[in-house]
Chains A and B, each alone.
Chain A
Amino acid sequence: PTLYSANWMQFITTTIMAVEYDGGVVIGADSRTTTGAYIANRVTDKLTPIHDRIFCCRSGSAADTQAIADVVTYQLGFHSIELDEAPLVQTAANLFKASCYRYREELMAGIIVAGWDKRRGGQVYTVPVGGMLVRQPVSVGGSGSTYIYGYMDSNYKPNMTKDQCLRLVSGALSLAMERDGSSGGVVRLAAISETGVDRQVILGNQLPKWSTA
């Protein structure tokens, strides 16, 4: 996308992340949308449902990611009806990749696809700008992610429980929000499993504190 355009784009350069656990995934995001230095929306919901048990975390251009998510929601819904069964997370991820790769020159979208399906349980797939696709047990994205790679590397362990994942995600996000100017607001969390989707919001004053200031 041209960065010299006259109208400022709205960005959700953010912090987003997703973690697999045995039986599902936990996803989280901050809630800041900026147009330049102005915070256009301080309570954004960046965790977008694509299907009953599949979500995506959006970072990059707000408009681009919304448009892609709408397209994939349509394609996946159609596919699910034809198949007469719940779609796979892998399918949703491939559909995101198809759009993000084909239109890579025009788009700025970093998306994490996460959800639960009965074939392979909880799965996290990351589709960064450029349109690659890779499955990871843990994935972080957005501008704030750079500040929490160290935290993730030292605190993530395989086979964590759902509550451990929730604590990990909320801790990591609040760290990133503290340091990254483009991230902030509240922490939105969602836990997706066979039984359903459990959404939470952690408000500013309830966030884990990382400094005594």
Chain B
Amino acid sequence: PPGGGSGTYDLSASTFSPDGRVFQVEYAMKAVENSSTAIGIRCKDGVVFGVEKLILSKLYEQGSNKRIFNVDRHVGMAVAGLLADARSLSEVAREEASNFRSNYGHNIPLKYLSERVAMYVHAYTLYSAVRPFGCSFILGSYDQDDGPQLYMVDPSGISFGYWGCAIGKAKQAAKTEIEKLQMKDMTCRELVKEVAKIIYIVHDEVKDKAFELELSWVGEVTNGKHELVPKDIRVEAEKYAKFIGCDGRTEDGYTTL
């Protein structure tokens, strides 16, 4: 059968293959790998997200098709994969965070939130009537007591805590760059420039042409509120990224061919 040896074991998520794999989940992860890169890094006083948002048409309004969401005041979410799936999961995460606050009277701890959303994602890998979510996402938060936290959830419904992680097509290259950083000793302001630099480094100019850099942060610098990095800081970070990261760019970040 076409499509490489999975035979009849890949038609539904409720079927294991003879070698113990659930192909539908693996295919969902491939959908993430086709998407452009998103990275999240935790430093000593906050978390910074960077997303390489590919621009598929010059007709798009600037800033449309956001890939970074606000889940709660202190929690942000950067996604890769099918954007529609990611949007619906961001709503799930928002409800979880809101219900927690309503029931218990304080901010939801990120570990708990990521486990709850991961459980939800996992549920969609159990049945043939539904398909798994085709997106991975990185959750980040900053809290007075727990400090900065970073968790990643993938389509299999598993969640882990990280100091730095990357999802999407250039995740390997991005991980290599992230590993070079001493993030535990950096502040958010320093990290913003490095995150921008990494996105510029891993961006493939030949295949992917124009992109918009989406940057957000949450930490002491924002008083615990997750928000997009202010324009002036973003512009400065992009200047640093272009200077260090790559050549041949025009001022507004679009390549000219």
Contacts and interface: CB of A to CB of B under 8 A. Distances in A.
A94 B112 contact: no
Interface in B103-131: 103-106, 109, 111-112
Contacts of A98: 103
A90 B105 contact: yes
Residues of A contacting B: mostly: helix
B145 interface: yes
A88 interface: yes
A79 interface: yes
B145 A119 contact: yes
A91 B104 contact: yes
A93 B105 contact: yes
Interface size class of A (residues with CB under 8 A): 10 to 19
A213 interface: no
A94 B105 CA distance: 6
B145 A79 contact: no
Contacts of A82: 112
A98 B103 CA distance: 8
A134 interface: no
Contacts of B106: 88, 90-91, 94
Interface residues of B, number: 8
Interface string B91-104: 00000000000011
Contacts of A84: 111
Interface in A105-121: 119
Contacts of B104: 79, 88, 91, 94-95
A6 interface: no
A83 interface: yes
* Residue with the highest number of chain A CB atoms closer than 10 Å, among B104, B109, B111, B112: B104
A127 B123 CA distance: 39
Interface in A55-103: 79, 82-84, 88, 90-91, 93-95, 98
B145 A94 contact: no
B105 to A, nearest CB: 3
Contacts of A91: 104-106
A83 B145 contact: no
Contacts of B103: 94-95, 98
Contacts of A93: 105
Interface in B214-236: none
Contacts of A90: 105-106
Contacts of A95: 103-104
Interface string B144-177: 0100000000000000000000000000000000
Interface of A: 79, 82-84, 88, 90-91, 93-95, 98, 119
19 contacts: A79-B104, A82-B112, A83-B109, A83-B112, A84-B111, A88-B104, A88-B106, A90-B105, A90-B106, A91-B105, A91-B106, A93-B105, A94-B103, A94-B104, A94-B105, A94-B106, A95-B104, A98-B103, A119-B145
Given A84-B111, A90-B105, 18 more contacts: A79-B104, A82-B112, A83-B109, A83-B112, A88-B104, A88-B106, A90-B106, A91-B104, A91-B105, A91-B106, A93-B105, A94-B103, A94-B104, A94-B105, A94-B106, A95-B103, A98-B103, A119-B145
Minimum-distance CB pairs A-B, first 10: A94-B105, A91-B104, A119-B145, A90-B105, A83-B112, A94-B104, A90-B106, A91-B105, A83-B109, A88-B106
